[in-house]
């Protein structure tokens, strides 16, 4: 067994039978056809993965593909990027090249290949807003296919990959960026911080700069304090449910989400006094209640107990069932 705990940012114990590094699209087909029916787990940057089984009787696949291709059409730039490219580096590289769109998504950890899996999003922008198509290896058909945006079924922290887990391996993602900046600063926090730092809301570099500083001030750095970012999704409820809750909790933050209303899960947890709550090596982060941190000694059972406490407290007070955001290997509850 290989010790792979270091591959995930939550740093729970993790051993697997073997690990295959996939470095080019060409070697994926050959290597994957030889795999047969052995259980497999794809791990990129490991920043959205909770390992609850310390020993995985299968193969870990690391899609380290570094492909990069640029096509320009008028003001549009189509950038095809290999699954192994670190996301934040890509954001900064595109801004430096004068190709805009990804600025609000700066400093999200992880690799390109995982971005479509949960349709990463932050500060009013999601991957779906700039995704053109995705090239995949289909384990069922044992061939390479491409999916267009409608076929990817993107939603809030959702995609076709969540509906059919384990079927596809993302090889490349083609992004559609623009040489014209379209700043999106509708989040109050961003416009306030731009003003406070004397920066320009029309400049994508400045937007990325404030996104980075807000994130650094609010979120623990996973390289220092193990975590997987938001542990829970924001509940998306019918407006009448939000109205009922707002009557009891008028200060509860809500956001429009089409015909539904999104409720800030971090606020729900924070209001219950759970910030800083510890069970063993795990704790609810004292700056951002959506984040659970590991002091490096945490066990899967301690994490299960802390998550169970949060879920039952939220359910008892607000009548809402929070959903877990990261992918899990093994059972959390
Ligand atoms: C501090 C912090 C802040 C974060 N902030 C945000 C945020 O603002 N918004 C947000 O959306 N997310 C956020 N995240 C979550 C995470 O960074 C993203 O989901 C990221 O895209 C995960 O990338 P990864 O390479 O680390 O994926 P991994 O953790 O390696 O994998 C995540 C899932 O994708 C699958 N996967 C990975 N690569 C591939 C591939 N090539 N093909 C098929 N399946 C694959 C894995 O099997 C797993 O199911 C945050 C995480 C942290 C630690």
Residue 121 belongs to domain spanning: 68-178
Please report whether residue 97 resides in a domain: yes
Please report whether residue 185 resides in a domain: no
Please report whether residue 186 resides in a domain: no
**55 and 91 together in one domain:** no
- Per residue in 76-122, pLDDT (tens digit) is 999 999 999 999 999 999 999 999 999 999 999 999 999 999 999 99
| CA 60 to each of CA 12, 48, 245: distance values in angstroms, whole numbers, following the listed order | 16, 15, 44
Whole-number pLDDT of residue 40:
94
Query: Would the pLDDT of 333 be above 80?
Result: no
Please report whether residue 219 resides in a domain: no
Rounded Cα gap, residues 298 and 5, in angstroms: 12
Please report whether residue 201 resides in a domain: no
For residue 105, which atom of ligand 1 is closest to its CA?
8
- Is any ligand 1 atom within 6 A of the Cβ of residue 81? no
Please report whether residue 193 resides in a domain: no
Which of 69, 98, 59 is closest to 181 using CA atoms? 98
Q: Is 157 annotated in the active site?
A: yes
Whole-number pLDDT of residue 301:
97
**80 and 114 together in one domain:** yes
Please report whether residue 104 resides in a domain: yes
Pairing of strands 121-122, 55-63: unpaired
Rounded Cα gap, residues 175 and 177, in angstroms: 6
Domain endpoint, select from 39, 63, 87: 63
**40 and 115 together in one domain:** no
CATH number of the domain to which 174 belongs? 3.30.465.10
CATH number of the domain to which 14 belongs? 3.30.43.10
- Per residue in 201-246, pLDDT (tens digit) is 999 999 999 999 999 999 999 999 999 999 999 999 999 999 999 9
**Number of separate domains in the chain:** 3
Rounded Cα gap, residues 99 and 264, in angstroms: 31
Catalytic residue, candidates 62, 103, 133, 230: 230
Q: Is 62 annotated in the active site?
A: no
Domain endpoint, select from 63, 85, 104: 63
**274 and 248 together in one domain:** yes
Q: Is 230 annotated in the active site?
A: yes
Q: What is the DSSP letter of 155?
A: B
**299 and 232 together in one domain:** yes
User: What pTM, to 2 d.p., does this model score?
Assistant: 0.96
**322 and 234 together in one domain:** yes
**106 and 58 together in one domain:** no
Domain endpoint, select from 147, 178, 209: 178
Whole-number pLDDT of residue 256:
83
């Amino acid at each position: 067994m290989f010790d792979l705990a270091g591959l995930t940012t939550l740093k729970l114990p993790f051993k697997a039978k073997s690990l295959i590094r996939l470095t080019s699209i060409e070697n994926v087909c050959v290597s994957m056809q030889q795999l047969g029916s052995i259980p497999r787990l794809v791990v990129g940057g490991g920043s959205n993965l909770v390992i609850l089984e310390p020993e995985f009787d299968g193969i870990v696949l690391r899609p380290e593909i570094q492909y990069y291709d640029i096509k320009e059409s008028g003001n549009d730039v189509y950038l095809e990027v290999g699954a192994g490219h670190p996301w934040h580096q890509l954001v900064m590289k595109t801004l430096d090249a004068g190709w805009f769109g990804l600025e609000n998504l700066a400093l999200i950890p992880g690799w390109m290949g995982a971005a479509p899996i949960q349709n990463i999003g932050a500060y009013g922008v999601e991957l779906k807003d700039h995704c053109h198509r995705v090239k995949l290896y289909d384990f069922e058909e044992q061939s390479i296919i491409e999916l267009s945006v409608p076929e990817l079924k993107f939603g809030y922290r959702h995609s076709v990959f969540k509906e059919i887990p384990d079927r596809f391996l993302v090889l490349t993602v083609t992004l559609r960026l623009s040489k014209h900046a379209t700043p999106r600063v509708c989040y109050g926090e961003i416009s306030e911080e731009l003003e406070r730092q004397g920066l320009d809301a029309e400049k994508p570099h400045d937007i990325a700069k404030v996104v980075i500083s807000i994130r650094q001030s609010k979120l623990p750095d996973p390289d220092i304090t193990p975590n997987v970012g938001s542990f829970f999704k924001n509940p998306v409820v019918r407006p009448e449910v939000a109205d009922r809750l707002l009557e009891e909790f008028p200060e509860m933050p809500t956001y429009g989400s089409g015909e539904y209303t999104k409720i800030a899960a971090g606020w729900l947890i924070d209001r219950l006094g759970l910030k800083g709550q510890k069970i063993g090596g795990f704790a609810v982060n004292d700056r951002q209640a959506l984040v659970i941190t590991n002091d490096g000694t945490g066990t899967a059972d301690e994490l299960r107990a802390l998550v169970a406490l949060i879920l039952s407290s939220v359910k008892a007070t607000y009548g809402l069932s929070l959903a877990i955001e990261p992918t899990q290997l093994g059972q959390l509850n």
